[in-house]
Every structure is written in C-alpha cells, then in structure tokens.
Amino acid sequence: MAYYLIKYIGHEGNTLTKPIEAVTRDEAISKSGFQARNIESVEIDHLGAIKAALTEKRLPMTEQVLALVTIASKLEAGKTPGKAILESVDLEKLGMDAADFAGCERASDWLKIMRFDDTAILLADAGDRAGNLADALKRAASVLRDRMKTKKEFAKPMKTAALNFFVGICSGIGFPIFGGRMLEEFLYKQKMPITPTVLSHILMWLEWFYTTYWPIFLAALCATFIFRVRVWEGIRRWPFFNLFDNRQRCKRGLEFIQTYRLLTASGFTNPQVLKFMVERSKGRERVLFEQALEQNKEGRELASIFDNDEWPKIIYQNLKGFDQQAIDGRHTILTNLTDALTQMFVHYSEKIANSMARGSMVVLITSILVFALGFYVPMMTMRISM
C-alpha cells in the first residue's frame, strides 16, 4: 500500500490536506470520507508511512466501542449524527476539530476521518442507508467488543510462545558469553591453575563465535526482514513452520466467515463483502481476496473460491451447496464453521506454544549443563587442588 495526500476544501473555504493509506487513488478518495466535489487533488505521498507512524492518531478499540454506544444513544434521543458524534468523541485526543469534518454528509464519513474500525464504518454506512443508524452502531459496538475479547483469548498461547522463545535465545547466548569470557579471563589473563574440560573449550568457542560473527547474524536478520515474503514462501511448508502457516490460514478463514456472517445479515451481497475484505486487507491476503472477488464476478459459487491450499479445507467442504440453502440453513453452516475454525486456530496456537516451550526448555537445560560442567566444575577442581 501507498500513502496519498488529499487536498480538500475545508469548512471555511481554505485548502487542507489529509494523508490516506490506500492501494489506488480511487480507494484513497473512498477511504477519506470526503465528497468528490470538495477534493482538489490526490497525490502520492512518498514519506506518508513515516509521517503516519509519527503523527496519526486513532482511538483505542475500547474507546471506539464506548463512542459508538454513546453516539447510538444520542441518536435515539433525537440528535443529528454530526451533533451526536461531536458530543461523544474527544476530538482533541485525535488532534481534530469540527472543521476537519466539513462536507461530511453521513455518519460513516465522520467515522472514516476519525479512523474508526472498518467494520464499524461499513455497518454505519449500511445502517444510515437503511434508516436504522442507531441499531447499526450498537451492532458495530457489539462486534468490536466480541473481537477484542476473542483476540485477547487467542493471544494467550502466542504470548507464552514468545516468552519461551525469548528465554531460549537469552539462555543459549547469555550463558556461553558470560562463562566463556570469564574462563578466558581466568586462564589467559590471570593465569589461574584451571584445567579446562571439553565443555570449557565449547563455552569459550561459543563466546568467540557470538562476539565475532554477530554482525553477520544482524545482517542476516535484516536481509530476512527485507525479503520476508520470499523467505516465508520458501519455508512455510517446512516442519514446525507449517504450524504458523496453518494457523494463519485458519485465522484468515475465521476472519472472513465472521465478517461474511455479520455483513450478509446486514443486507450485503457476496461481491460487497469480498470488496470490503479487499479494502481492509494487505499483502498476500489482499491478493487472495482480489482473486476471490474476480472469481465471484465470473459467477462461480462461493465454495469454489476456497478450493485451494490458501484456505482451510473445512471451508470448501462446508460451503458446498451454500448458495442453495435457505437463510436458516446458511446461518447454521456459518455458525458451525465459526466454531470449528476457532477450535482449529486455538489448536495450532497451542501446538506452536508447546513446541517452542519444549525447544526453549532443551536450550535452557543444555545451556545450564554446559555452563555448570564447563565453568563451575573446573573452578571447583582448582579450589580443591589449592
């Protein structure tokens, strides 16, 4: 994605600018929330990503939920969308004022400018067109609340995995550097009467290796990060790495099914849902949803879109004949798919955490044993001989 700089006419007739992240110029205009008649120009901002990281602000998800509920209650009290939003959202926290919303006609336009969650924006737009904006905002708040709860629950195994990985790396590097350096100090500088063991030499060699070749390690990490897409395509089918790939495929499928279930219940068609997924996705996932959208436009059934290795097979299997189902049947299929994909996602997350825990434990125990037998045993031998 790139950043586009949109110049538009403000509330007082002056020219203002706003950076928008998008793939195309038309998508930038759509995401901006401004009416076309108020836009003067749209240009690529080559430094937009850096500027956005330093200056852009958005409300945390919890505050977005609270704001949506508050706006809905004010709408039910008879206030206009603009007035309800101005009274419910702390614009100073976003670095905005009322002038930033000049030309906004619908509530979804306001939410776009304030960079609310894409799902909330889409539901607000649908609710506005259907004449039930307050109910749509309440539904959006409920969706965001459930998403936060689910994300927090899913994050637990991966946090454990990250902690285990950190412990393993620190022990595998820290013990050899400390023990090897101390041994070299005692043996070659202080000339202490220590009889090094084989493990002592391994400790000193590891210390030399880490301290000598760390620039190469750093360069390799930088190169891996730069070419991460190609690297991942090459290794994602390998043992252990395929757990991450399977987890990602389950996550991708779960997000689509949840979004599809929500939006179709609000009256959206298959092409509209897929278009929304394209706009909110990045990288490889965006390409997949673009392909799915094209296939859907060609008249292919929904199930056939997911008949490839990029999606869990359970989606294709359960969506066969989905287009011929009644509303209740579709709801049952989507509910069962959501539950199944959730369990699969948790399963792969736990397998990753357990694998990394075992690997971390092996590295930790090995490091401690090498340190103890290579450092402390020679030191104890020296004390006894003295």
pLDDT, tens digit (0-9, with 9 covering 90-100), for 130-167: 788 899 899 889 988 988 888 887 788 888 888 888 98
pLDDT band at 248 (very low <50, low <70, confident <90, very high): very high
pLDDT at 29 > cutoff 60: yes
Same domain, 220 and 147: yes
Last residue of a domain, one of 92, 121, 142: 142
The number of domains in the chain is: 3
CA pair distance 82, 246, nearest whole angstrom: 44
Residue 235, domain extent: 143-386
pLDDT band at 94 (very low <50, low <70, confident <90, very high): confident
pLDDT at 128 > cutoff 80: yes
pLDDT band at 64 (very low <50, low <70, confident <90, very high): very high
Same domain, 129 and 148: no
pLDDT at 359 > cutoff 80: yes
Predicted pLDDT at 380: 79
CA pair distance 32, 299, nearest whole angstrom: 31
Predicted pLDDT at 205: 93
Q: Are 138 and 74 in contact (CB under 8 A)?
A: no
CA pair distance 58, 251, nearest whole angstrom: 25
Same domain, 202 and 109: no
Give the tens place of pLDDT for each residue, 324-340: 888 889 989 999 999 99
Give the tens place of pLDDT for each residue, 200-236: 999 999 999 999 999 999 999 999 999 998 999 999 9
CA pair distance 117, 59, nearest whole angstrom: 9
Same domain, 107 and 41: no
Same domain, 314 and 361: yes
Residues facing 18 on adjacent strands: 6
Same domain, 46 and 177: no
Same domain, 313 and 167: yes
Same domain, 67 and 51: no
CA distances from 232 to 221, 241, 323, 348, 371 (A): 13, 9, 35, 18, 35
The average confidence (pLDDT) of the chain is 86
Same domain, 207 and 278: yes
Residues facing 9 on adjacent strands: 15
Same domain, 123 and 210: no
Same domain, 215 and 78: no
Same domain, 230 and 322: yes
**Mean pLDDT confidence for 346-353:** 90
The single-letter DSSP state of residue 91 is G
